[in-house]
Amino acid sequence: MLRIKNVESGYGRLKVLKKVTMHIRAGEIVTIIGANGAGKTSLLKTVSGLIPARSGEILFDMKEIGKLPPEKIVFLGCSLVPEGRQLFAPMTVKENILLGAYPQYRKKRGDQVREDLERIYGLFPRLRERERQLAGTLSGG
Domain ranges of the chain: 2-75, 93-137
Q: Which fold has domain 2-75?
A: Rossmann fold (3.40.50)
What percent of the chain shows pLDDT beyond 90? Answer: 66
The per-residue pLDDT for 68 is: 94
What pTM was estimated for this model as a whole? 0.71
The per-residue pLDDT for 79 is: 84
The per-residue pLDDT for 6 is: 97
What percent of the chain shows pLDDT beyond 70? Answer: 96
Separation CA 23–CA 59 (nearest Å): 9
Structural contact between residues 78 and 72, judged by C-beta atoms closer than 8 angstroms: no
> Pick the residue with more confidence: 125 or 107?
125
The per-residue pLDDT for 41 is: 92
Confidence category of residue 84, pLDDT binned at 50, 70, 90: low
Separation CA 66–CA 102 (nearest Å): 22
Separation CA 123–CA 121 (nearest Å): 5
